[in-house]
């Protein structure tokens, strides 16, 4: 008993029967009709998309004896001989077993003679990329100027392995993957011809496994026909092909997205119970997440090569989760799959990956978090639907922030000091009289301050300064002022940011520096004039800039004693603290060194 498989039984015998590849088919038909057939044609593309089939159809069409009807006619002696495999003038060889230079020499000797019964000799070399470099070189001259009675037809799945000297002598046709709708129609017709009825979901699984290859799909369809009865269900396809049911994949995906640990691990256990290959399971799960991601992105649904009913299922599942959440969990799954191949316990690695993905939680964009923080700082009520739990109270409600680790003095590190709590902006309060800190009798500028405690970089304005509509406040707009200066003089902005505090007192702008080196360049006459102009342009106030510095005597007198002021200065200037400030784009607030702060 001889059985002919579907891949051979349903092989197209004319251009009209070719599945897909409409542009290539149309070009070949027009070249035949206009007598513009190239002497060397190269077909390239994925396995099972019709390369050898088109080469045989072209061989029949070139030697077809029909002159007025359809070409090839499949009725004349030449067409019938080629269909039976008995044509003497058609030489079909494979490049894997005839890859040497000796075989090419023998082929060149054969094509020297005229055809026996047909009009032309046709040479079909399948998998031509398997030829050796010497064989390609031996074929060059013949391929460039072949005899008038010879046509070459080449087929390959790896176009990049063919020398460019061969490619330049051929007319190339690149065949594409067959789309899912075309494969579905073709397989549905074949099932009807075989007297089988197949469910749409079962047929969709076969089309998905075919991956755009007609031959692969026909082999799978033939296998399913042998297993099932007249009616083929989805369960039949899953059992025969060893696939993972889509319901199981969707269950695991939904559990990973919603954070259901029990459902995810239980479904994984059921999958292992069926003996599914772990690598195949991970590939299907990644494809499921990819489908969800594309379903969530506007305008990318056409990238999903699947029936519309399946697209609707994925769209419904993705609607309950954000794009950022799906993307994050897909990235985590990809990282785990890449490292799973080196694991001694791949199943355990996958289970822990599931737990890691679930614990990742929902992702909120940074812009949303910043918007909520601004609302809290401004005292604006927060919408509970956006993640807020309660409306912010208008009064000051300091948030509790855990203490940050600082270095200890004994070991060269700061002692633990609490980070100041973030509070909503409060109305300006009258500060203590700072004039009492200055020593009388000193010049108006560069007056040293004796043990001035470190204050926040922006202090409250004095009550005597009135802020008009066109003016800006030093306390609130100091950061904006440094950005304004940065656009004009970067170094000056850096020096201003090193100030311990900046405040307005009357018609003066007081800049406190614990280290005179931080403002040495700013204190020059030329730069002071420029800084005064910047202050006037930005704050719209005529303020006189004054630098408040510690006395040199206090530095020399206190060398032997570790005063609180020295400790605060040392902590503020510590490299680790400065690096932390730069990383988080923050500023040094209150520095507490007393026993109550520990």
- Report the 3 state secondary structure along 24-92: HHHHHHHHHHCCCCCCEEEEEECCCCCHHHHHHHHHHHHHCCCCCCCCCCCCCHHHHHHHHCCCCCEEE
* 40 beta partners: 152
Please confirm whether the linkage preceding 72 is cis (ω < 30° from 0). yes
The C-alpha atoms of residue 46 and residue 176 are separated, in whole angstroms, by 7
The C-alpha atoms of residue 18 and residue 30 are separated, in whole angstroms, by 16
pLDDT at 468 over 60: no
The C-alpha atoms of residue 241 and residue 350 are separated, in whole angstroms, by 23
| CB-based burial label for 311 (10 Å; 0-12, 13-18, 19+) | middle
User: For 270-278, what is the mean pLDDT?
Assistant: 77
- Domains of the chain: residue spans and CATH: 6-175 (3.40.50.300), 180-241 (1.10.8.60), 255-360 (1.20.272.10), 439-584 (no CATH)
The C-alpha atoms of residue 42 and residue 167 are separated, in whole angstroms, by 8
Per-residue pLDDT tens digits for 398-453: 343 344 343 343 333 434 444 444 444 444 444 444 333 334 443 444 444 444 44
User: For 378-384, what is the mean pLDDT?
Assistant: 67
Nearest to 477 by CA among 538, 542, 396: 538
The C-alpha atoms of residue 198 and residue 230 are separated, in whole angstroms, by 8
Per-residue pLDDT tens digits for 38-96: 999 999 999 999 999 999 999 999 999 887 778 899 899 999 999 988 899 999 999 98
357-362: long-range contacts (C-beta < 8 A, 24 or more apart)? 357/256, 357/329, 357/332, 357/333, 358/255, 358/256, 358/259, 358/260, 358/261, 358/264, 360/328, 360/329, 360/332, 361/259, 362/321, 362/322, 362/325
Per-residue pLDDT tens digits for 289-315: 998 888 888 878 777 767 677 788 888
Pseudo-torsion of CA 450, 454, 460, 462, nearest 10°? 0
Confidence grade of residue 365 (pLDDT, cut at 50, 70, 90): low
Which residues, 6 or more positions from 37, have their beta carbon under 8 angstroms from its beta carbon? 31, 58, 62, 151
* Per-residue pLDDT, 79: 92
Least confident range from 282-286, 381-385, 386-390, 581-585: namely: 386-390
* Per-residue pLDDT, 15: 93
Return the sign of the alpha-carbon dihedral for residues 283, 288, 293, 295: positive
Per-residue pLDDT tens digits for 317-353: 888 888 888 888 898 888 888 878 778 888 888 888 8
Least confident range from 273-287, 449-463, 554-568: namely: 449-463
> C-alpha distances in angstroms, 454 versus 94, 502, 514, 572, 588?
86, 11, 8, 9, 9
Q: Helix (H, G, I), strand (E, B), or coil: what is residue 559?
A: coil
Contact 208, 234 (CB under 8 A): no
The C-alpha atoms of residue 418 and residue 403 are separated, in whole angstroms, by 4
User: For 466-487, what is the mean pLDDT?
Assistant: 79
Per-residue pLDDT tens digits for 175-195: 999 988 899 999 999 999 988
Per residue, the 3-state secondary structure of 218-273, as one string, reads HHHHHHHHHHCCCEECHHHHHHHHCCCCHHHHHHHHHHHHHCCHHHHHHHHHHHHH
User: For 265-272, what is the mean pLDDT?
Assistant: 84
Q: What is the CB neighbour count within 10 angstroms for residue 9? A: 13
Tokens matching residue 529: 């004039």
Contact 154, 41 (CB under 8 A): yes
* Per-residue pLDDT, 56: 94
Q: What is the CB neighbour count within 10 angstroms for residue 440? A: 7
Per-residue pLDDT tens digits for 26-46: 999 999 999 999 999 999 999
* Per-residue pLDDT, 579: 74
The C-alpha atoms of residue 182 and residue 307 are separated, in whole angstroms, by 11
The C-alpha atoms of residue 372 and residue 381 are separated, in whole angstroms, by 10
Per-residue pLDDT tens digits for 489-539: 888 888 898 888 888 888 899 998 888 888 888 888 888 899 999 998 888
Mean pLDDT of the chain: 79
Contact 307, 314 (CB under 8 A): no
End-to-end CA distance of the chain: 93
* Per-residue pLDDT, 438: 37
Residue count of the chain: 598
* Per-residue pLDDT, 216: 92
pTM: 0.56
Tokens matching residue 15: 């251009």
Per-residue pLDDT tens digits for 529-566: 999 999 988 888 888 899 998 864 444 444 556 667 67
**Alpha helix (H) ranges present in 453-500?**
474-486, 490-497
pLDDT at 386 over 60: no
Please state, for a pLDDT cut of 90, what percent of the chain lies above it.
Answer: 25
* Per-residue pLDDT, 68: 77
Summary count for the chain: helices (H), strands (E): 24, 11
* Per-residue pLDDT, 387: 44
Angle at 234 between CA 233 and CA 235, to 5 degrees: 90
Which residues, 6 or more positions from 374, have their beta carbon under 8 angstroms from its beta carbon? none
Q: State the helix-helix crossing angle for 346-360 and 261-273, rounded to 10 degrees.
A: 160
What is the greatest pairwise CA distance in the chain?
123
* Per-residue pLDDT, 470: 59
Distance between alpha carbon 568 and the CA centroid of its chain, in Å?
47
Higher-confidence residue of 114 and 568: namely: 114
Least confident range from 122-136, 254-268, 379-393: namely: 379-393
Q: What is the CB neighbour count within 10 angstroms for residue 291? A: 23
Pick left, alpha or beta for residue 94 (phi over 0 → left; psi -120 to 50 → alpha; otherwise beta): beta
């Amino acid at each position: 008993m001889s059985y002919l498989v579907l891949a051979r039984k349903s092989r197209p015998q004319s251009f009209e029967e070719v599945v897909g590849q409409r542009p290539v088919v149309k070009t070949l038909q027009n070249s035949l009709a206009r007598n513009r057939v190239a002497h060397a044609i190269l077909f390239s593309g994925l396995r099972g998309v019709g390369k050898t089939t088109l080469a045989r159809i072209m061989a029949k069409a070139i030697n077809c004896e029909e002159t007025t009807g359809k070409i090839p006619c499949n009725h004349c002696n030449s067409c019938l001989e080629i269909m039976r495999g008995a044509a003497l003038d058609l030489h079909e060889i494979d490049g894997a077993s005839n890859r040497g230079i000796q075989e090419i020499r023998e082929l060149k000797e054969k094509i020297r003679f005229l055809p026996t019964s047909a009009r032309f000799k046709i040479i079909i070399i399948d998998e031509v990329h398997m030829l050796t470099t010497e064989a390609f070189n031996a074929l060059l001259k013949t391929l460039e100027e072949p005899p008038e009675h010879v046509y070459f037809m080449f087929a390959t799945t790896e176009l990049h392995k063919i020398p460019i000297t061969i490619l330049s002598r051929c007319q190339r046709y690149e065949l594409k993957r067959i789309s899912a709708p075309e494969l579905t129609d073709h397989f549905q017709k074949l099932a009807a011809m075989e007297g089988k009825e197949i469910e749409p979901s079962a047929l969709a699984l076969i089309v998905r496994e075919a991956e755009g290859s007609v031959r692969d799909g026909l082999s799978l369809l033939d296998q399913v026909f042998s297993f099932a009865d007249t009616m083929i269900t989805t369960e039949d396809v899953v059992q025969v092909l060893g696939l993972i049911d889509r319901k199981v994949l969707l269950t695991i995906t939904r559990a990973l997205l919603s954070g259901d640990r029990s459902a995810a691990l239980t479904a994984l256990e059921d999958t292992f119970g069926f003996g599914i290959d772990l690598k195949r399971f991970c590939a299907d799960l990644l494809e499921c997440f990819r489908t969800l991601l594309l379903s969530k992105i506007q305008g990318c649904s056409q990238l999903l090569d699947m029936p519309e009913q399946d697209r609707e299922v994925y769209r419904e599942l993705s609607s309950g989760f954000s794009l950022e959440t799906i993307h994050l969990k897909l990235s985590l799954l990809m990282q785990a799959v890449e490292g799973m191949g080196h694991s001694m316990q791949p199943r355990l690695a996958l289970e822990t990956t599931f737990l890691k993905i679930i614990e990742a939680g929902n992702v909120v964009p940074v812009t949303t978090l910043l918007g909520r923080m601004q609302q809290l700082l401004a005292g604006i009520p927060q919408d509970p639907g956006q993640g807020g739990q309660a409306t912010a109270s208008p009064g000051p409600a300091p948030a509790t922030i855990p203490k940050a680790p600082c270095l200890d003095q004994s070991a060269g590190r700061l002692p633990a000091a609490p980070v100041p709590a973030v509070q909503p902006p409060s109305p300006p309060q009258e500060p203590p009289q700072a004039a009492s800190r200055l020593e009388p009798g000193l010049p108006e500028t560069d007056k040293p301050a004796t043990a001035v405690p470190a204050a926040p970089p922006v202090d409250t304005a004095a009550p005597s300064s009135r802020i008009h509509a066109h003016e800006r406040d030093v306390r609130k707009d100091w950061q904006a002022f440094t950005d304004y200066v940065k656009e004009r003089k970067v170094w000056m902005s850096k020096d201003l940011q090193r100030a311990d505090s900046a405040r307005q007192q009357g018609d003066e702008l007081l800049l406190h520096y614990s280290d005179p080196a931080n403002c040495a360049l700013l204190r020059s006459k030329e730069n002071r004039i420029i800084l005064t102009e910047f202050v006037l342009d930005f704050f719209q106030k005529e303020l006189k800039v004054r630098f408040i510095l510690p006395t040199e005597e206090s530095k020399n007198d206190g060398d032997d004693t570790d005063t609180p002021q020295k400790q605060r200065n040392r902590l503020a200037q510590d490299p680790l603290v400065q690096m932390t400030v730069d990383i988080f784009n923050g500023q040094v607030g209150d520095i507490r060194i007393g026993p109550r702060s520990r």
